[in-house]
Structure 1
C-alpha cells in the first residue's frame, strides 16, 4: 500500500548540516525508505562511481552513466533503483549550511546544476580536479570540528560546484543568456515553489517582485517560453501528479492539500492540463 510521500529533514546531531555518506550505508540503514518515493529538505550531489542504474526524479527516468555526478534539488521526489547494483557516495547539505550571505543564496539559486531549466544535471567525471575536491571534502568532514571547519567545507563545496558547472557546460549544456530576464525568471520560480499552494494568481507574484504583469510575462516568455500563468499551472500539475502517483490520498484530500477548496475545482484544473481526470491518471500510472 502506498503511503504519503516521505519528506526528510537533515539529520540532527551533526557538527553542521553537511554530510558525505556511502550508498552502501544508505541501502543498509535506510533500505525501505529509499525504495519508496521520497523528498528531502536539502541538496544532494550523487556520485555514481560504479554501475549504471536508472534514477527516477519527478517522473523523469535518468539513465546513469558510470563515474558521473547527479545534482538533485531540494524537495524533488526521487526513487533509487534498488534492482541494479551500483556503488558511490552522496554529498548532502542545506541552505543553512551553505548560504551565509546574500551572495551565497544567489549563487546556489542561480546554479545551473540545481536549477537547469531544461533537464536534471548529470556530468561525466573526466576531470580529476572534481574527484580530488570531493575527496578533500570527505577528509575535512571527518576531522574534529574547530573554528575553521565550516568555512573550509563551504569553500571546498563551492569549488566543487564551480568545477562541476565548468564541466557541465562542456557536456551538451544549453546556455541561457544571463541577464535581468533570467534573474527575474529564477526569482519567480523560487517564489512559486514556496507559495503555489496558497497563491495561484500572477498578481501575487508581481506584488512580491514589485513588477507589472507585463514585465514578468516578458521575463518568463524569454527564459521559459511560457507565460507566468502557464508556469503556475505546470507547478501545480507536477505536485498533483506526485501526490496521485505516490500516495493513497483521496482526490478530495489531494485537492485540499493543493489549495483547492472544492474537489470539483481540482478535477477541472487537472483535466484542463492533461485531458484526463485525476482518477484516470492514477489508474494509468499504477498499470505502468
Structure 2
C-alpha cells in the first residue's frame, strides 16, 4: 500500500493559486512511472528552467550538484550550493532558480505516493523542519553517487522487465537512495539518523498532516487533538519532541509561512490573503501577522520589492 497523496496547498487555498504550481507529469516519465531522473536544465527530467519566476511544485525534487557555487531560493532563504551538495525541495515549497548561475548535476523528481508509507516515514519525506541543503561527507557522497547511478540505470532500462516489476525495482532502488539521503538529512539536524517509530513520532506525523490539510481554517490545538483522538498533553509532548515547538507555535509557523508566500509572490490584497489563511477580519490578520513577525503585512510586502 502506498502513501496517499499529500494535501495540495495551492488547491485548497484558492487565493494562493496565484503562486503558480507545477504538477508532476507522469507522462513525461519513461514508462509513465512515478519518478524522473536525468541532467539538470531544460533538457532534463524537470522542465523548469532558471528563467522562470518563483513557483511551487507538488512533488519532491532532489538536485545533486556536480558544480558550484549556485544560489537557489527556497521559502525566503537563499542557499549557496556547492559541488557535491544536495538540495531537497519538498511539495508545496515556494522556490526560485538563480538567473545568473548554471545548474550542473542530476535532478531526481518523485511523485507523492510512489513510495510506501513506511518508507515515507522512515526517510522523513515530509519533515519540513529539516534543512533543504545537505552537505554529504566524502564517503557518504561516494555511496550516494553509486546509489543514484544504480537508480538511473534501472530507470532507463524499460525492456528487461514487465512494467509492474520495473516499477517495483524502481521503488526498492529509490528507497535505498532515499535512506542514504535521509541519514545525511538527520545528521544535519543533529539527530542520530535512526527513524523513530514510537507513538510520539506517529502522533507528530498525524498532527503535521492534519495541520497541512487544515491550517487555512483551523488554528485550534484542541480541535486537532479531538480530530486525531489525542489529548492536548500527548500532542504537546509529540510536537515538542519532533520540533522543539508547542503545537500552537507549529500551527502559527505554518500560517505565517503561507501568508509570507502570498504577500511576497502575489499581488493579492492583504484582506484576501488573511481570508486564505483563516482570518475573516483583515484587522485581526494584520495584528496576528505583526505579532509573529514584528512587521505589518504591508511593511513585509514592501521589503520584498
What TM-score results when the alignment is normalised by the length of structure 1? 0.87
Match of 1:203 in 2: 222
Aligned to 2:120: 108
1:70 to 84, 87, 108: 87
Shift of 1:219: 2.1
Q: Which runs of 5+ in 2 are unaligned?
A: 1-16
Alignment counterpart, residue 190 of structure 2, candidates 174, 182, 207:
174
Q: 1:268 aligns to what SS in structure 2?
A: helix
Whole-angstrom distance in 1 between the partners of 2:128 and 2:48: 29
What is the count of residue pairs matched by the alignment? 277
- Pick the aligned partner of 2:66 from 49, 69, 75: 49
Q: 1:132 aligns with which of 124, 133, 146?
A: 146
For residues 109-258 of structure 1, the aligned pairs below 5 Å read 109-112=121-124, 114-115=126-127, 117-124=129-136, 126=138, 127=140, 128-144=142-158, 146-168=163-185, 172-175=188-191, 178=196, 179-258=198-277
Distance 1:46 1:185, change over 3 A: same
Residue 121 of structure 1, CA deviation: 4.5
1:94 maps to 2:111: yes
Does the aligned pair in 1 maintain the 2:41–2:49 contact within 8 Å? no
Worse-superposed segment, 174-183 or 144-153: 174-183
Question: How much is the aligned-residue C-alpha RMSD, in angstroms?
Answer: 2.4
Aligned-partner SS, 1:248 = coil
**Structure 1, gaps ≥5 residues long:** 99-103
User: Are the structure 2 counterparts of residues 109 and 72 from structure 1 closer, same or farther at C-alpha, using a change threshold of 3 Å?
Assistant: farther
Distance 2:227 2:209 in 1: 12
Aligned partners of 1:38 and 1:78 also within 8 Å: yes
